[in-house]
Amino acid sequence: MHDLVIRGASVVDGLGHDPIRADVAVRDGRIAAIGELGKDASDSVDAGGLTLMPGIVDLHTHYDAQITWDPTLSPSPSLGVTTAVIGNCGFGIVPSPPHLRDLIMRNLAVVEGMDLDALRAGVDWRFQSFAEYMAMLRGRGAYMNLGVLVGHSAVRTAVMGDDASVRKQPAPAEMAEMKRLVAEAMDLGAIGLGASYSLNHSGWGGVPMPSTISDISEFDALVGAMGGPGRGVVEISSGPIMPDAMEEIAARHGRRIFMSTAVALYNEQFPERALGAFDACAAAQARGNELYIQITCQPLSFDFTLASAYPFYSHPAFDPIKAYDREQLKAVFRDPSFRERFRADLRNPKPGTVFQGNWERVIIAAPVKPENAALADRTIADIAREAGREPLDVLLDLGLEENLDTGLIGRFFNAVDEGVEPLVKHKAGVIALSDAGAHLMYLCDAGFGLYFLGHWVRERGAFDLPEGARRLTSHQAGLYGIPDRGRIAVGAHADLLLFDPAAVGVSAPRRVNDLPGGGPRTLRDPIGVHGVFVNGVRVFDGKDYARLGKGAGQVLDRFLPAQAAPLSNAVQ
């Protein structure tokens, strides 16, 4: 007898084949049969012609802390995600020596836009080592499958403490211990190594995140510590480091390296820059060196206020003030010398910074005072032109008038479809970069897959549905060496998304205060989703999460080496 049969679905297998009308049967968490099946099942779902595809694979999330208090990992499962990778950019929370835990949380609060009070109230520190963290994940029972990257900044912090963000060169014994921790994590089932050299990645009080100050040779040594060729993947927020340097490391160690960088996001101020980075990665692939770019398929928008102006943090003028309270910030923003320093930064922005001075992309979303209501939905550039003033002065003066509470939206990257389409279609690109679980006060891009199906497949027709589904499922699983997921095939794990392709999408963002201690975050809701199944268990029915004693997700700890990735998952 089957545990579950989903009947009468239009089945899109995630491998790029044409849809078929079929029933899909599940037994013991795997797909047992596909076709016209009988009624012999413990449970059944009438799909009624809806589309059934593999669950979405999200390679770039930051649920490392949230999993300790929320096994649902909201909102990703409701948004069709059944497998996620955590520990990206190297900002995991393990190893976590007790005396460094508050430092870890303070840095995480800034670099990933998380509520510090919520982290302090919510993180359940029942682990210290990577082995204990993996055991905690297995006991927790998440509502998604999870793969874990071991983090460069995490191991640097564990070994060097406060010095990790100050001292560029580790002592030989410290370097040896970092390499040992990476090797140990790989032996315990890490999917790979995460790291960052991003200019945007600063921690508490403006200190650089530890890995960002290290010499590239340190990163190279940790990549080598992962083991032999093809063992594990590398994800790096590469900042100003160009593909040629990454290619050398990929070639030396036989690793797949996945870069994420603002340089590779479309910016109309520098329209050719992103495509050049993709083409450089494609050229590396042609030479046999597997270099890819993680690309978001959505406009990268930040909801923010001047009380927490994360999009500006990569500019040196903000380095000393990132941890300031409201009153301290107000004093700084009134200071003409600060304004001149910020203006100087904007005259020569470094490649890879989030905000590069385009005030047409900063929009007033929610003025606080009634007398400012007419400013809503207008850009800072437009208001400044009308008033004959400098845009920076307009922004700061309005913020000061409204106690730094003016709601702002920054639409900085990927805002022009014509520029983004060649990137999302590029052979060197991998649809990812949701940052789910992070930047909670500014955005929620966890629904990237539903957005992709609604916008790029249905509305723009840039992909047909079979190829669009493949780009969200087996493509990612194959490149990361995740076996038997991202496909609907007999024997594969039954990770499934049931949806209406004529309606699928994501809602507008909304604010809630449901983090530990009542902390705020931004959420989006699914549109057109009728069911999400993880290892054959329905975890979301289209409206609500299932009440499960333990989530059905598995901790992923066995992977295919790079050279053994299934050909059906290779980039086409």
- Per DSSP, the residues of 537-568 read EEEE-SSSB---SS----B------GGGS-GG
Provide the H-helix boundaries in 480-535.
none
pLDDT of residue 311: 87
- Summarize the confidence of residues 23-52 as an average pLDDT: 92
- Summarize the confidence of residues 135-144 as an average pLDDT: 97
pLDDT of residue 206: 79
pLDDT of residue 567: 37
pLDDT of residue 46: 95
- Summarize the confidence of residues 454-481 as an average pLDDT: 98
- Summarize the confidence of residues 446-453 as an average pLDDT: 97
Mark residue 527 as left, alpha or beta (left: phi above 0; alpha: psi -120 to 50; beta: remaining): beta
**In this predicted model, what pLDDT tens digit does every residue of 361-402 receive, in sequence order?**
899 988 899 999 999 889 999 999 999 999 999 999 999 999
Query: pLDDT band for position 568 (50/70/90)?
Result: very low
Q: Of residues 551 and 114, which shows the higher confidence score?
A: 551
pLDDT of residue 569: 38
Helix axes 243-253, 273-286, angle to 10 degrees: 20
SS (H, E, C) 402-454: CCCCCEEEEEEECCCHHHHHHHHCCCCEEECCCCECCCCCCCCCCCHHHHHHH
pLDDT at 443 over 90: no
- Comparing CA positions, the residue from 135, 156, 13 lying closest to residue 92 is 156
Cβ atoms of residues 440 and 520 within 8 Å: yes
- Summarize the confidence of residues 295-316 as an average pLDDT: 87
- Per DSSP, the residues of 101-116 read HHHHHHHHHHHTT--H
pLDDT of residue 562: 63
Rounded-to-integer distance, Cα 76 and Cα 55, Å: 11
Q: Which residue has tokens 């290779």? A: 570
pLDDT at 352 over 80: no
- Summarize the confidence of residues 88-109 as an average pLDDT: 96
Rounded-to-integer distance, Cα 444 and Cα 450, Å: 13
CA 138-43-146 angle, to 5 degrees, is: 20
Tokens encoding 471:
């780009």
pLDDT of residue 295: 94
Range of 110-114, 334-338, 441-445 with top mean pLDDT: 334-338
DSSP state for residue 526 in the 8-state scheme: E
Q: Of residues 412 and 21, which shows the higher confidence score?
A: 21
pLDDT at 67 over 70: yes
- Summarize the confidence of residues 464-486 as an average pLDDT: 98
Q: Cβ contacts of residue 283 below 8 Å, gap of 6+?
A: none
Rounded-to-integer distance, Cα 301 and Cα 408, Å: 10
Query: pLDDT band for position 477 (50/70/90)?
Result: very high
> Which three-class secondary structure state does DSSP give residue 569?
helix
Q: Considering the chain, what percentage of its residues have pLDDT values greater than 70?
A: 98
Query: pLDDT band for position 570 (50/70/90)?
Result: very low
Tokens encoding 499:
């949806």
User: What are all long-range contacts of 338-344, with beta carbons under 8 Å and residues at least 24 apart?
Assistant: 339/392, 339/393, 339/396, 341/316, 341/317, 342/312, 342/315, 342/317, 342/318, 342/392, 343/390, 343/392, 344/317
Tokens encoding 49:
């012609």
H/E segment holding residue 326 = helix 326-334
Tokens encoding 356:
């590069």
pLDDT of residue 571: 35
- Comparing CA positions, the residue from 136, 134, 113 lying closest to residue 123 is 136
- Summarize the confidence of residues 192-220 as an average pLDDT: 93
Tokens encoding 385:
């032109």
Q: Which residue has tokens 């963002």? A: 509
Cβ atoms of residues 453 and 424 within 8 Å: no
SS (H, E, C) 23-92: EEEEECCEEEEEECCCCCECCEEECCCCEEEECEEECCECCCCHHHCCCCCCCHHHHCEEEEEECHHHCC
Rounded-to-integer distance, Cα 317 and Cα 336, Å: 12
pLDDT at 572 over 50: no
Q: What is the mean pLDDT of the chain?
A: 93
Rounded-to-integer distance, Cα 297 and Cα 452, Å: 6
Range of 214-218, 306-310, 558-562 with top mean pLDDT: 214-218
pLDDT of residue 413: 83
Question: Both ends of the chain: CA-CA distance in Å?
Answer: 38
Sheet holding 429-431, edge to edge: 56-58, 81-86, 145-151, 192-196, 233-237, 256-260, 291-295, 429-431
Mark residue 47 as left, alpha or beta (left: phi above 0; alpha: psi -120 to 50; beta: remaining): alpha
With 0-12 / 13-18 / 19 or more C-beta atoms within 10 angstroms meaning exposed / middle / buried, residue 328 is: exposed
Tokens encoding 358:
């385009």
Query: pLDDT band for position 566 (50/70/90)?
Result: very low
Query: pLDDT band for position 243 (50/70/90)?
Result: very high
Rounded-to-integer distance, Cα 46 and Cα 52, Å: 11
- Structural domains of the chain, ranges and CATH numbers in brackets: 54-299+414-554 (3.20.20.140), 321-409 (no CATH)
